[in-house]
C-alpha cells in the first residue's frame, strides 16, 4: 500500500510521532488506547518501513488490549499485515493466549513469513493445547526449513506434554530438526525418559554432530539414560565413548553405576577418552562424598 503521506512531507514526519504518542499514553495512562489499535493495524500496511515498525512496536506496548484486533488482522488480505500481526502476538506473549486458535490456522498460511511468525508466536505464548501441539507437529514437515526449526523450538516451549511429538521429530528427514529435537528433549530432563531408546540409537550413529547431541540429551535426562550411556562406553568408536563419558560426568552422583566401566576407560587407548574418564569419575565420586 502506498503511504497516503508520501506526497506530504510534513505529515509523513508527523505520523510516526502520532504512533509514538499512543505508546507513551498507553504506558502512562493505560486508558482507552485500545480504540487507537485499528489505526495502528492499518499502519502496518504502509509502504514506509518506519511507519510499519512504529505501529508494530506500538501495538506490542499496548499489549493485551490489542490482541482482538491483532487476532482479526491474521485474516487480513495483506500478507505483510498477517505476518506482522503474528509476530506482534508472539512478542505480547502469554497475554495473547486468546489468539492461539487463529495462530493455529495461520500455520497453514500460503505465505511462508506468516507461517514462521505464527509458529514462533505459539511457542512464545506457551499455551499447550492439544490443537496447538498437533498443529506444531504438522509444521515439522513444512516445506520451509525455518518453519520446521521454529516448530521444534515452539514444541520445546510448550512443556513436556510435547515429548511424543519431539520423539517423532527424531525421525524427521531434516537433520537440523532431529538435532533441535534432541536439545529440546534434553531440556525436559527425566520427563523425557520415553525418548531414551531413540536417543540411544542416535548415540551410536557415526556422525559426530548427531551422537554428540544425543549424548548431551541423554545426560540431561539423567538416571533413565544410564544403561544406554554405560553401554556406549564399550563402543569401538572412540568419539562415542568420549561423548558418553562426558554425559555421565554431567549426570554426577546419580551415575554411580557407571563407575566400574569408567575406571576401565582410564586405560583406554585414546588419550582424550582417558582424560574424560578421569574427570567423570572425579565429578561423580567427589559429589557423592559431599
158: confidence class by pLDDT, cuts 50, 70, 90: very high
Place of cell 554432530: 209
3-state helix, strand, coil in the chain (%, to 5): 80, 0, 20
Q: What is the model's pLDDT at position 36?
A: 86
pLDDT at residue 231, as a whole number: 98
Residue 236: is its pLDDT beyond 60?
yes
How confident is the model over 166-176, as a mean pLDDT?
95
Domain residue extents for the chain: 170-290
Contact 136, 154 (CB under 8 A): yes
Q: Is the pLDDT of residue 1 over 60?
A: no
Is the pLDDT at 224 greater than 70? The verdict is yes
Coil, helix or strand at residue 30: coil
For position 286, what pLDDT does the model report? 81
Mean pLDDT across the stretch 253-266? 97
- The reported pLDDT for the residue numbered 35 is 80
The answer to whether 119 and 136 have CB atoms below 8 angstroms apart is yes
- Residue 25: the pLDDT is 45
Give CATH for domain 170-290: 1.25.10.10
Query: Is pLDDT of 33 > 80?
Result: no
CA separation for the pair 268, 70 (Å, rounded): 61
Average pLDDT, the chain: 90
> What would the pLDDT profile of 159-169 be if each residue is shown by its tens digit?
999 999 999 99
Amino acid at each position: 500500500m502506498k503511504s497516503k503521506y508520501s506526497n506530504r512531507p510534513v505529515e509523513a514526519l508527523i505520523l510516526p510521532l502520532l504512533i509514538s504518542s499512543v505508546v507513551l499514553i498507553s504506558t502512562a495512562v493505560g486508558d482507552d488506547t485500545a480504540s487507537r489499535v485499528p489505526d495502528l493495524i492499518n499502519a502496518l500496511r504502509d509502504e514506509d518501513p518506519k511507519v510499519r515498525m512504529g505501529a508494530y512496536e506500538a501495538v506490542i506496548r499496548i499489549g493485551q488490549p490489542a490482541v482482538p484486533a491483532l487476532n482479526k488482522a491474521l485474516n487480513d488480505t495483506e500478507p505483510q499485515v498477517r505476518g506482522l500481526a503474528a509476530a506482534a502476538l508472539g512478542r505480547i506473549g502469554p497475554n495473547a493466549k486468546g489468539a492461539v486458535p487463529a495462530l493455529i490456522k495461520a500455520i497453514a498460511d500460503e505465505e511462508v513469513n506468516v507461517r514462521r511468525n505464527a509458529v514462533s508466536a505459539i511457542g512464545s505464548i506457551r499455551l499447550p493445547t492439544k490443537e496447538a501441539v498437533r498443529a506444531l507437529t504438522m509444521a515439522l514437515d513444512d516445506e520451509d526449513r525455518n518453519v520446521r526449526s521454529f516448530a521444534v523450538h515452539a514444541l520445546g516451549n510448550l512443556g513436556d506434554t510435547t515429548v511424543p511429538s519431539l520423539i517423532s521429530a527424531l525421525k524427521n528427514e531434516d537433520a537440523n530438526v532431529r538435532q533441535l529435537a534432541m536439545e529440546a528433549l534434553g531440556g525436559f530432563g527425566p520427563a523425557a525418559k520415553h525418548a531414551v531408546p531413540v536417543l540411544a540409537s542416535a548415540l551410536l550413529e557415526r556422525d559426530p554432530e548427531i551422537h554428540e547431541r544425543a549424548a548431551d540429551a541423554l545426560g540431561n535426562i539423567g538416571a533413565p539414560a544410564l544403561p544406554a550411556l554405560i553401554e556406549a562406553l564399550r563402543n569401538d568408536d572412540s568419539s562415542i565413548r568420549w561423548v558418553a563419558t562426558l554425559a555421565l560426568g554431567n549426570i554426577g552422583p546419580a551415575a554411580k553405576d557407571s563407575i566400574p566401566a569408567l575406571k576401565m576407560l582410564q586405560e583406554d587407548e585414546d588419550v582424550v577418552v582417558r582424560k574424560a574418564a578421569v574427570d567423570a569419575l572425579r565429578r561423580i565420586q567427589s559429589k557423592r562424598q559431599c
